[in-house]
Structure 1
């Protein structure tokens, strides 16, 4: 079976987890990982997985890339678009963001030697990520959580 050709400029879909935890002072922190190639700070993300709901695929990405396990939101907490660097071109991707309340952080995981990870305050995370729309989604999350509290 031949893959359907994408039209130029057509967005590709990705899924991502926004792993969060509550710090001792009551503030919310988000776990960011570095991308493997450019080493910029991102949320754990990847392509949709056949046989898995998007939310479960997002949780799997967080497990593989950051070694975290937790409760994932049923609906996306936001979306953003960015240009993904491929081998010979860039692809425009739309990423669905799922909130993942971290319940456990593992001592070892699949990609631990390929990425760095760090817990950031939401404000610092919004400042450090390169993608403007991801930064906005993190800032909105900060406001959503403040309203819910």
Structure 2
């Protein structure tokens, strides 16, 4: 996919939240989407006045109650069909920033709307639907 193609799509930012668990195994924090209940990374629209990395961190806090050490550059991009009002869909590109989670809040803004769960790398790859996101998770190295 060319840069020009990506620019022609709707753009969002997302957070790949991770920790090192027992035996130095990476785990990923995923949340359920509000509309379909599928497992996804926290993501959302770019925010005026915030750098994209900061907006990704804000999405991680709002959707998953997670904060931590944020990468300043995206680790990759994935695309998905965003459901708009009615039955319309729009191809959306998500620039993903890694967040090494240092704190999870018991209460967070969207706790009543989403489930959050830690996944092993293999389970996270299986849980998400988007092929490009599967590849990002598979290839992620802190």
TM-score (norm: length of structure 1): 0.87
Shift of 1:18: 0.4
Counterpart residue number, 1:136? 135
Shift of 1:87: 1.0
Counterpart residue number, 1:46? 44
The equivalences for 1:71-82 within 5 A come to: 71-82=69-80
Runs (4+) off by over 3 Å = none
Q: Deviations along 1:30-70, whole A, 9 cap, x unmatched?
A: 00000001000000000000000000000000000000110
Shift of 1:132: 1.1
Shift of 1:101: 0.5
CA distance in 1, matches of 2:139, 2:22: 22
The equivalences for 1:1-149 within 5 A come to: 10-88=8-86, 89-141=88-140, 144-145=141-142
Q: Helix, strand or coil: the match of 2:67?
A: strand
Unpaired runs of 5+ residues, structure 2, are 1-7
CA distance in 2, matches of 1:122, 1:76: 19
Shift of 1:133: 1.1
CA distance in 1, matches of 2:109, 2:80: 25
Shift of 1:11: 0.5
CA distance in 2, matches of 1:36, 1:94: 18
TM-score (norm: length of structure 2): 0.92
Larger radius of gyration: 1
Shift of 1:107: 0.9
CA distance in 1, matches of 2:125, 2:28: 10
CA distance in 1, matches of 2:67, 2:76: 20
CA distance in 2, matches of 1:22, 1:82: 28
Q: Helix, strand or coil: the match of 2:82?
A: strand
CA distance in 1, matches of 2:109, 2:118: 19
